[in-house]
Structure 1
Amino acid sequence: MNEQDLFTIERNEKFGRYAVAKENLKAGDIIFTEKPFIYGPKSDTPCICLGCYSYVDCTYHCSKCSWPVCNENCEKLFCHRDYECEVFAKASVKFQTVQDPTEVCLQYECLTPLRMLLAKEKDPMRWKEVECMEAHNEVRKTKPIWDFNQHNVVEYLRNVCKLDRFPEDLIHTVCGILEINAFEAKNSAGYTFRCLYPKLAILSHDCVSNIHHAVDYKGTGDLEDCNVTVRAAIDVKKGEALLSSYTYSLWPTLVRREFLRESKYFECTCQRCSDKTELGTNSGTLKCQKCDNGVIIATDALDDECEWNCTHCDFKTRATAVRKVFAAIQSDIDGVEYIAGPEGIEARETLYKKYKSVLHPKHSYMTILRSGLVQLYGKAEGYTLDDLPDIILERKVELCHQLLEVLDVIEPGRSRIRGIILYEVHGPLMMLARHQYQNEVITKEDFRAQLKKAVDTLGSAVEILRQEPRSLPEGQLSAIAEDAHKQLMDNFDMLVETA
C-alpha cells in the first residue's frame, strides 16, 4: 500500500479484509490511485480488437499471431504484443473464422485469464496482492460456470495453447478471481472490457456506496493505460469503512441481491437491502391493482421467496411473481436502451405511461426511464431546448428533481449520474426563468435569483464531472460544462439586462 493512500486494511470474522478511512475525508478527496494488475476482454464478449477493445469485423489480423486487431498499430500495443500474441504464435493457435463478429465469441474466454497467468510470472511480487482474493472455487464447482471454464479456458490453455505449466486449479482460481473481483471499464469509444485492481477489490460492498471510482483509459496499451482513481463520494470519518457497490445501484433489491448471489456468491444484508422500502425510496414497491391507495411490499426484505402484501387491502402475492414482473419490465427497458433521437423519447414515454399505474413513482424502473428521458429531451432532433415548449421544459425539470430525490439516498454525493443530471437540469431552468420574465410572470429580481440558481446548479455539475477522465464521455461533458459555466458567470449581469 502506498504511504499516500488514505485508507488502511482491517480484518474481522464477518468481512475478512476490508478498508477503512485513514483520516477524515471530504467529498472529492482522492483516496488512492492504482494501475490494474491486468486488463482484457470481458466474458461473453463479441469480437473485439485485442489492442484497443473496439469492435472489429475480423478482416484484419495480427501479422504475428493471426488474431483480430484493428490495424498494425494495435497489434504492436504492449497489452497484446507481450501477452497472448507470443503464446498464440508459438503454439500456432489461429483465430477461427466466425460468421457474425457481433455475436458472443467463445474464443475470447481464455484471453484475460491467460493475461493474468502471464502477469503472475512477470510480476510475482504483485501477484501476492492478487492470490489472496476470493475465488469461491468450492461454490463455483457446483455451478455451470465451472464446466464452461473447464472446456473454454482450462483445456484450451493447457492443451491447444500448450501451457500445461499452469495447473488446472490455478487456472480455475484465476477465472474465479476475475469473475468476482474485476471491474468494468470503457475505452474512448465506449466499448467495455474488464480490469483487475487489487486495492479496489479490498473495499467492501454496500448497495449505497460512499466512494466513486473512475478508470482513465489512455489507449497506450501499457498497464498504466487504465489507472483507476478512487475518491470519497461523501464525507467519510476516520475509521469508517470504505464501501463500493458491486452492482447497479438503480436496480431494485430483488434484482440486486440475485445478481450478487449468482455472480459474487454472497447474500447482501446491507441497510438498503434489509429495508422493505429501500431506505424510503420504494425502489422495489408495486402499486396495488385491487385498491386505490395500497402499495405492495415484501414481508421480509431479506427473504427472496417471501410473501408480498398490500399495505391497504388483503391482496397477497409471492416474490416469484414479483420477480417475473420485474423481468418483463427489464426486458422492455432493454429493448429501448439503444434507441436514440425522437424515437428513443417516444419509446421511453410509452413505457413510462405503461408502467405508471403498476410501479411506485420512485420505483427503480421508473428511475431508469427518467434517466434516459432527461438525457434525450434537449438533444434529440425536434426536441432541442429551443424546440421544447414550456410544458416539456417543466417536465424535464420535474424528471430531474425526481431523479435527484432518489439519488440523494441510493447514490449520495459526487456520483457520475448526479453530475449528469445536474448538468441536464440547468438549461431548462434558465429557459423557464427567461420565459417567465419575458411574459411578466416574475420580476427582474426573481429572474436574477432563478438564473443564479441555474448557474449554481451548473457549477455543482462541474465540480462533480471534473473528477471524470477526459477520455470518457462524462469527462468530455465536464469540459463543455466548465466552459459554459465560466461564460455564464462572466456575462451574468448582461444576461439579466438583455433577457
Structure 2
Amino acid sequence: MVEKREGVGRILVATRDIDPLELILWDNAAAMGPRMGGKPVCLQCLKPPKPGKLCGTCGWPVCDEKCETGYSHKIECDILAKSIEKPDFSKLDDVLEVYRCIAPLRLLLVKNKFPEIWERLSYLMDHNEDRVKDPELWNLYQDNVNKYLKVCGQEFCDEDVDRAVGLLWTNSFACASGGGQAIFPTFSFASHSCKPNCAHSVFPNKTLALQAKEKIKAGEEFTISYISTLQGLLKRRSKLRDKWFFECTCARCQDATECGSHASTLLCQVCKSPDALVTSTNPIDPKAEWNCSKCQQKTNPEEINAIENRVAEQMQKLAPSSMAEFESFHEDVALELHPSHYLMLLLKRHLIALYSSCLSSLELEDLERVESYCKCVDDAYNIIDPGYQKDRGSVLRTMCETIVSIYKVKKMIAKKRLADGVDNEEQFKKRVQDCCEVFQEAQKCLFVRVKKDPNDFSKFAVVQRRDVE
C-alpha cells in the first residue's frame, strides 16, 4: 500500500510478508516516449530508425509503414506535422535535442484525455524548484519543449509543460533497451535504496512488473535502485544528488566499507599492503577526506574521483574481446583498488563473460581463476544487490559451469595419474551437489513475471526469461 511517512513522503509498504520472486504489483504507464537527451528513435517502437525512413505526415523517423500508423505515434503525428520548424534527421547517430518534447507532449495529451491518470500523478514530485536553479538545463527544455510545442500550434500553459517535464525527469524509468522512458503512477512511489529489495521490468505493452528479490516482512518498505548498484560511493551519491536532489542515507551509504562490500575501497599507495584500506572518514559527506586504515594518510575526494575516472577511461579503451588485455589490466589495477572495488567487479564480470564461451577448452589453472572471479562478484552482489536478480544469475551460471569443468578436469587428472589424492569419489559427488545448488540459485535469479496468465490472483504468471531458455 502507499503510506506517507514523516521526512520521507509517500512510499510503498508491504501489508504482509512477501516471498522472494513474488510479484508485488504491476502498473500501466501513464505515458511512454523517447528518452530525453537521447539519439533519434522510431516514435512508435522506440528502436533505432532506418536511415531515410520518415513518417509521410509529420516527417519524423519511423521504422516502416506499420510503425507510421501505430497508435503511440498516431496521437502526436498531426501535432508534429503542424510545426513550422522542421528538424534535420539526416544524422541518426547524433543526439537530437528536439526529441525532448515527445514524452512531455504525450503526457500532456493524457492530461487532456484521461484527467484521472493526471490526478494520480499529482502526488508525485517534479523538483521544478530545484531544476530551475540550473539555467543551462532549464533553458534547454524551455527551447526544445515549451517553445517547440508552441510552433506546433499547441497552447499548453508553461506551468503544465514544466510540470510534465519535471514529472518525467524525476519519476520516469528507462525502457525499450534504453531508447525510451516511461512514467508509472503507482510504481513511482517506490523509494530508492543502494541495497534494493525489489527489481522491476518494463515490457513493450507499457506494463511494469515489480518483483521481490528477497524476503520482505510486513511493514517494510519496497525499495528499488534508481541507478546501477554497481557504482562507487562518490559517483552513486553524486548522481542521486544531481538528478533526484536528495542525499541518500541508506545503510550502504552510511558505512565507509559499504556494508562490508568494499565497493569503493582503494589500496594505500604509501603502505602498498593489501590490508591498508583507503575509505571515507564520513561517507555521507561528499567533501570528507579519505584515509588509510594503517598509516592514516589523507586523500581528498577529488583525488579519489580522479583515480576512478582514470581507471574507467583506460578500461573503455581496451579491446572488448581481448582476454589478454583485460587480464593484464586487471593485474595492474589490482595494485590500486580493493579486489571488490566496483571497477574491479566490472572487470571481473567482463572477464567472466569472455571466458564463459570457452570454458571447455581452459586449463585447470584458468578455470580456477574464473571460479574465483565468479565468487568475488557473487559475494559482492549478495551485499550490495542481495536476492534474485538477472546479473547475479548470469554470474552464477558461469560459476556453475566452471565448477563442473574444474572437477571434471581434476577427475581426469586423478585417473590418468592413478592417484586418488586429488579428489576421491565422495568429494567429487559433494562438489557436484554444490554445483547443482548454485545452478538452482542461478535459475531463480533468471525468472521474472512476463507472461499474461489470467488467474485468481493477477494477470501475470512467473515464467523464465526468453533469453535464457
TM-score relative to the length of structure 1: 0.86
Amino acid paired to 1:358: E
CA distance in structure 2 between the partners assigned to 1:176 and 1:91 by the alignment = 24
Identity of aligned residues (%): 28
Partner of 2:108: 117
Q: Is the 8 A contact 1:289 1:358 kept in 2?
A: yes
Deviations 1:329-350 (A, max 9, x none): 23233445xx543x2x334323
The one-letter amino acid of 1:179's match is: W
Alignment correspondent of 1:50: 43
How much has 1:161 moved relative to structure 2? 1.0
One of 408, 424, 427 as aligned partner of 1:443: 424
Deviation of 1:92 after TM superposition, in Å, equals 5.9
Whole-angstrom CA distance in 2 between matches of 1:51 and 1:334:
32
Contact 1:54 1:191 in 2 (8 A): no
For the pair 1:277 / 2:257, whether they are aligned, the reply is yes
User: What is the deviation of 1:359?
Assistant: 0.7
Q: Match of 1:467, SS?
A: strand
Which runs of 5 or more residues in structure 1 are unaligned?
Answer: 1-7, 218-224, 480-499
Q: In structure 2, which of residues 356, 365, 371 is the aligned counterpart of residue 397 of structure 1?
A: 371
Aligned to 1:297: 279
What secondary structure sits across from 2:448 in the alignment?
Answer: coil
Structure 2 partner of 1:141: 132
- Kept in 2, the 8 Å contact 1:20–1:242? The answer is yes
| Structure-2 residue corresponding to 1:222 | none
Contact 1:49 1:56 in 2 (8 A): yes
Residue in 1 that maps onto 2:157:
167
1:333 match: 315
Tell me, yes or no, if the aligned pair for 1:468 and 1:478 is still in contact at 8 Å: no
Separation in structure 2 between the aligned mates of residue 468 and residue 387 of structure 1, nearest angstrom: 36
Residue 108 of structure 2 contacts residue 164 of structure 2 at CA under 8 Å; is this kept in 1? Answer: yes
Report 1:235-250 matches (<5 A): 235-250=215-230
How many Å separate the matches in 2 of 1:292 and 1:66? 61
Task: Give deviations 1:316-337, integer Å, cap 9, x for gaps.
Answer: 121121122222223233445x
Deviation string, structure 1 residues 165-209 (Cα, Å, up to 9, x no partner) = x111211121111111111123xxx45311111211101111110
1:320 corresponds to: 302
Name the structure 2 match of 1:184: 174
Which deviates the most, 56-65 or 11-20?
56-65
Q: Contact 1:154–1:171 (CA<8 Å) still a contact in 2?
A: yes
**The one of 333, 338, 350 aligned to 1:355:** 333
Shift, 1:374, TM fit: 0.8
Indicate the larger mover: 308-317 or 408-417: 308-317
1:33 maps to 2:26: yes
Q: CA deviation at 1:475?
A: 2.0
Note the C-alpha offset of 1:60. Answer: 0.6
Give distance in 2, aligned partners of 1:181 and 1:64: 31
Out of 7, 10, 21, the residue aligned to residue 14 of structure 2 is 21
The count of residues paired between Structure 1 and Structure 2 equals 448
- The Cα shift of 1:427 comes to 1.0
Which residue number corresponds to residue 413 of structure 1? 387
Q: Map 1:417-436; keep pairs closer than 5 Å.
A: 417-436=391-410
The corresponding residue for 1:495 is none
1:86 aligns with 2:78: yes
1:462 corresponds in structure 2 to: 443
Query: What do the CA deviations read for 1:378-407 (whole angstroms, capped 9, x no partner)?
Result: 22xxxx122222222111111010011111
* 1:116-137 deviations in Å (ceiling 9; x for gaps): 1112122111111112211111
Q: Is the 8 A contact 2:35 2:178 kept in 1?
A: no
Letter in 1 for 2:336: V
Letter in 1 for 2:170: I
* Inter-partner Cα distance in structure 1 for 2:450 and 2:333: 36
Change (3 A) 1:170 1:32: same
Distance 1:421 1:200, change over 3 A: same
Amino acid at match of 1:68: P
Note if contact 2:38-2:179 (Cα within 8 Å) is conserved in structure 1: no
Counterpart residue identity of residue 175, structure 1: V
**Deviation for aligned residue 1:13:** 2.4
Deviation at 1:360, TM superposition (A): 1.0
| Residues 192 and 91 (structure 1), Cα distance of their counterparts in 2 relative to 1, 3 Å cut | closer
- Alignment partner of 1:439: what SS? helix
Q: Deviations over 1:140-176 (max 9, x none)?
A: 1111321111111111112x11112x11121112111
Measure how far apart 1:138 and its partner are.
0.9
- Do the aligned partners of 1:9 and 1:20 also contact (CA within 8 Å) in 2? yes
Query: In the alignment, what sits opposite 1:376?
Result: 354
Q: Is the counterpart of residue 107 in structure 1 residue 79 in structure 2?
A: no
Q: TM-score w.r.t. structure 2 length?
A: 0.91
Distance 2:110 2:326 in 1: 45
